[in-house]
Amino acid sequence: MKRATLPILLLLLGILAAGSTPDAGPTLQEPTDRELFEYATRIAEAHRRADAKSVSEPGVAAQELGELLEWPWPSSADAYALRADLHARRAQLLLAAGRWEDAELAVGAGIAESEQQNISSSALTAQLWLRFGEVKEARGDDLGAVQAYQAAIRTAKDVLIQRREGRKGP
């Protein structure tokens, strides 16, 4: 029995390893419009709740948006755009709450994710760089802020060029 079990286990492990996509995170393999609709609706509602709390309780609003980032998301450009917006908004709220380190982590996670998903030349990534600059500025890092703003400008110009050439980014 033992001799027969080991090859089967190895085969199962091989199948699991081949099927895993470490860069993609907890994505659904075949996103449908229904999944995207549900995901986007949920995020839109969360943003509206955050809008209501953004002045009085920015930390609470950021926490709620952070919880959304933990959910599985459909693997599509629209879903990544939604996530990039979530990261940027969360950073803005954390900044308003005076949690500069958390804000920097949030926006850093968003930029890393956009690079990982090959959407680094998008309007939302430009927005993330803009937020990154604002976080740096709040932390007194003028040079870091200028560099981040320059990255935002560079990214935005890339997007404008892409649009002029007829390519559509998220």
Partner 1 sequence: MTDDKSTPEPEAADLEEARQARALAEAMEGSGADAPPDQELLVAAQISAVREPGQLSDAARDRIGDELFGVSGARARVRLPRWPIAAAAGLVLAGGLAAIVAVELPRLGDGRERVAFHRQAELLVAELMPRPTAAERAQAIADAAAARLREGAP
- CB proximity list for 95: less than 8 A, separation 6 or greater: 103, 131, 134, 135, 138
Minimum CB distance to partner 1, residue 127 (Å): 5
Q: Which two tokens stand for residue 3?
A: 């001799």
Helices and strands (H and E) in the chain: how many: 7, 2
Minimum CB distance to partner 1, residue 129 (Å): 7
Minimum CB distance to partner 1, residue 25 (Å): 19
Task: Measure CA of the first residue to CA of the last residue in the chain; give whole Å.
Answer: 54
Q: Which is nearer to partner 1, 94 or 123 (CB)?
A: 123
Q: Are 103 and 135 in contact (CB under 8 A)?
A: yes
Q: Which is nearer to partner 1, 12 or 87 (CB)?
A: 87
Nearest to 84 by CA among 94, 73, 95: 73
The contact set with partner 1 (CB under 8 A) reads 32-34, 36-37, 40-41, 43-44, 47-48, 50-51, 78, 81-82, 85-86, 88-89, 123, 126-127, 129-130, 133-134, 137, 142-143, 145-146, 149-150, 152-153, 156-157, 159-160
Minimum CB distance to partner 1, residue 142 (Å): 4
The pairs formed by 34-37 with CB atoms below 8 angstroms and a separation of 24 or more are 35/74, 36/74, 36/76, 36/78, 36/79
Minimum CB distance to partner 1, residue 121 (Å): 11
Q: Which is nearer to partner 1, 5 or 29 (CB)?
A: 29
Question: How many other C-beta atoms can be found within 10 angstroms of the C-beta atom of residue 163?
Answer: 12
Q: Which is nearer to partner 1, 105 or 137 (CB)?
A: 137
Q: Which is nearer to partner 1, 14 or 67 (CB)?
A: 67
